Amino acid sequence: MRVLFCCLLLLPGLAAAEIYRWVDANGQVHFDQRPAAADAEPIEVKPQVIERDQATRERQARSERFYDARRQEQALATAQSAELRAKRSEECNELRRRLAQVPEGFRYYRSEANDQRTYYSDEEMDAARRQLRDRVSERCS
């Protein structure tokens, strides 16, 4: 935090920094932030303004549209993935609930059309439990 504060304090000083130009004894031109010679003259450095032509602006607009479309696709994919995870979690909870309702040693039946009860055999119950366990291990890993 202190470093950021110090940088913010020094930023106006950097923006107001002057550039000096001088020529040494060999005739070579030098530029520096501090005048090294007595005849160094301050120069004004103007920022370069780049005017983009129509083709460049069109390319940039196409790129922005492409990246916006890509971001929308990614957001949609993220939302679909979250929805799929929620559905899978709901299905997993339902399977676990059903498996917990089929304890060992209980008798289960199905009602027939004539109000008769047909009880499941031990093999059918074992197969149902095995099927539920397999689906839980497959879907809830």
The per-residue pLDDT for 1 is 54
Could you list the mean pLDDT of each consecutive 10-residue stretch along the chain, which spans 141 residues? 52 65 88 82 83 89 96 96 94 86 73 81 84 88 73
Please tell me the number of Cα atoms within 13 Å of 124 on its side-chain side: 9
Q: Which two tokens stand for residue 40?
A: 């160094």
Strands 29-32, 19-23: pairing is: antiparallel
Distance from C-alpha of 16 to C-alpha of 41, rounded to nearest angstrom = 16
The per-residue pLDDT for 103 is 73
Task: Return the domain boundaries, the chain.
Answer: 1-46
Distance from C-alpha of 121 to C-alpha of 128, rounded to nearest angstrom = 11
Q: Which alpha helices (H) appear in 29-103, and where do they start and end? A: 54-100
The per-residue pLDDT for 7 is 52
Q: Which two tokens stand for residue 84?
A: 């799929």
The per-residue pLDDT for 76 is 97
The SS3 of residue 34 is coil
pLDDT digits (tens, 9 = 90+) for 81-115: 999 999 999 999 988 888 887 776 677 777 887 88
H or E element, residue 31? strand 29-32
The per-residue pLDDT for 105 is 64
Distance from C-alpha of 85 to C-alpha of 79, rounded to nearest angstrom = 10
H or E element, residue 3? helix 2-15
What pTM, to 2 d.p., does this model score?
A: 0.46
Distance from C-alpha of 17 to C-alpha of 22, rounded to nearest angstrom = 17
